A = this chain, B = another copy of it.
Amino acid sequence: MIRLADAAIDPGALLAEFCAGRTDAGAVVSFTGLTRGRTDGAAVTRLTLDAYPGFTEAVMAEIEAEARARFAVEDVLAVHRWGSLDIGEPIIFVAAAAEHRRAAFEAVDYLMDQFKTRAPFWKREDGPDGARWIEARPDDHQAIERWATAQ
């Protein structure tokens, strides 16, 4: 399940909802991305994420389908925030449930690597030194290569 959220997301509530009523999955792994007050040494006061509703969910849903096909998971949830975010606010919540923990870890790891380089969001950081647009980092591009050869 993929959701695009234009208001604050609540990782605690999302994890509680995702765990509720599960009696077959022994393992739930989650990732929460938070807006940092500093990147590469520069202060950040606000983060703005642009998205293209319709297209953005479609690409995320493709990535979700890949993860479901690739790992022995029972369920996957990804909620991505867009709009204007304060420092410390959650940007993304991703969770996977599986019978055993390895598949849950790998699915969330995979989803995050793919979202970082492929999910259509455009990020602008505002700080005392002005605004700058953020692209995927070199280590994000390296990270995604792990999945080309692995299993």
Name A's B-contacting residues (CB within 8 A).
Answer: 10-17, 19, 21-38, 87-88, 90, 99-102, 104-105, 108-109, 112, 139, 143
**Contact between B16 and A87, CB atoms less than 8 A apart:** no
A19-B11, A105-B109 in contact; A34/B28 too (CB < 8 A)?
yes
A27-B31, A28-B32 in contact; A11/B16 too (CB < 8 A)?
yes
Q: Which residue of B lies closest to A12 (CB)?
A: B16
**Contact between A36 and B29, CB atoms less than 8 A apart:** no
Chain B residues lying within 8 Å of A23, measured Cβ to Cβ, are 34-37, 87-88
Picked from B27, B33, B108, the residue with its CB within 8 Å of the CB of A26 is B33
Q: Shortest Cβ distance from A76 into chain B, in angstroms?
A: 15
Q: Shortest Cβ distance from A43 into chain B, in angstroms?
A: 11
Chain B residues lying within 8 Å of A37, measured Cβ to Cβ, are 23-24
A12-B13, A16-B12, A90-B19 in contact; A28/B26 too (CB < 8 A)?
no
Q: Shortest Cβ distance from A151 into chain B, in angstroms?
A: 15
Q: Which residue of B lies closest to A137 (CB)?
A: B100
**Contact between A27 and B34, CB atoms less than 8 A apart:** yes
**Contact between A29 and B30, CB atoms less than 8 A apart:** yes
A12-B15, A12-B19, A13-B12 in contact; A34/B25 too (CB < 8 A)?
yes
